[in-house]
Amino acid sequence: MVRVTPTRKHLVVAASVLVHVGLLALLLRVSPHAPEVAEVGAMTVSLAPGEALASTSPQPSTPAKARSRAGAIEVAETPPPPPTDIEPQYVDVAEPDADAADDRDPVNDPVALSVSAAATNASGETCQMTAWLQQALQADPQVQAAMLRIPRPARSVANALMLWDGDWVEPPMQTSQSVAALRAALVAGIRAAPVACQFETIRGPELISLTEGPGATILAVGSGEWRWAQLLEAADPSITRSAGQRTEPTGSATPTRAVILWPR
């Protein structure tokens, strides 16, 4: 049996306590608030091509440290500068010409004819018939006057008027004269358009937006599959029926070209 003298025993105990206290102090000093999570291996995160905010100043929004190694993120000491630090630059945004719709002859006006010619050049594939008719009708004082006479209850809540869906449609009010004027103008506009465009196959309605005072009236034309030329066949304004009494569109019928006045 080995006897340990009291002095030696005390030294061993003291040394052991000192070592443990020292280790504990070292751990606490190095990481006083370290989260109790397992340390994981190094991980590199690459930046994919992203979107930096535009800047008119020389400094990009990406922190300098983030650019120090290509493709790798390092901890930035400060967040990137906010985008609003950039000096404002004022730009002019052109507004549409409010007077564009002037009094033009829809058939002989040079601007209107140029629109027509552009449509012709497109060989029917890019016919801008609705734009053309919008321009023609907008410039027609009789159309403007007729629209003013059509009361609000005769229009939809969004101010739309259905004119033709295979037959002429009479709005649900006594507005025959006014609607007849719209039809006449529409027919005249179609007649003035290139023939190829008159026979272009349309699917679904075309909406013609006409400025009327502070707002706009939407003239709706067509339903299902149809052609503008069909309106020329049905040009007699006496052929009307009430709104809501639908007849199937006659788009499959071959239009009779003899009734069409070709544009010069």
Q: What are phi and psi of 204, to 5 degrees?
A: 90, 170
Among 119, 146, 161, 186, binds other proteins (CB under 8 A): 161
Contact flag: residue 37 with other proteins (CB under 8 A): yes
C-alpha 251/C-alpha 233 separation (Å) is: 12
Three-state SS sequence of 69-99: CCCECCCCCCCCCCHHHCCCCCCCCCCCCCC
How far from the centroid of its chain's Cα atoms is residue 45's Cα?
A: 36
Candidates 12-20, 174-182, 205-213, 256-264; binding stretch for other proteins (CB under 8 A) = 205-213
Contact flag: residue 68 with other proteins (CB under 8 A): no
Distances (CA, A) of 110 to 116, 207, 233: 10, 24, 27
Burial class (CB in 10 A: 0-12, 13-18, 19+), 190: buried
C-alpha 185/C-alpha 256 separation (Å) is: 20
CB 101 within 8 A of CB 140: no
| Residue type (1 letter), 84 | T
Candidates 6-14, 189-197, 208-216, 256-264; binding stretch for other proteins (CB under 8 A) = 208-216
* Residue 63: both structure tokens together: 């922190």
Residues 15-34: x/- map of binding to other proteins (CB under 8 A)? ------------------xx
Pairing of strands 225-227, 201-203: antiparallel
Contact flag: residue 58 with other proteins (CB under 8 A): no
Question: Based on CB atoms, which residue is closest to other proteins, 2 or 157?
Answer: 157
CB of 171 to other proteins, least distance (A): 7
CB of 82 to other proteins, least distance (A): 6
Residues 81-140 that bind other proteins (CB under 8 A): 82-84, 86, 88-96, 130-131
Contact flag: residue 215 with other proteins (CB under 8 A): yes
Question: Based on CB atoms, which residue is closest to other proteins, 9 or 65?
Answer: 65
Question: Based on CB atoms, which residue is closest to other proteins, 120 or 159?
Answer: 159
Distances (CA, A) of 76 to 35, 39, 45, 64, 181: 21, 21, 14, 8, 72
CB of 180 to other proteins, least distance (A): 17
Among 58, 79, 110, 141, binds other proteins (CB under 8 A): 79
C-alpha 184/C-alpha 170 separation (Å) is: 14
Contact flag: residue 43 with other proteins (CB under 8 A): yes
Question: Based on CB atoms, which residue is closest to other proteins, 86 or 107?
Answer: 86
Contact flag: residue 151 with other proteins (CB under 8 A): no
Contact flag: residue 2 with other proteins (CB under 8 A): no
Contacts of 180 (CB under 8 A, 6+ apart): 237
Question: Based on CB atoms, which residue is closest to other proteins, 107 or 128?
Answer: 128
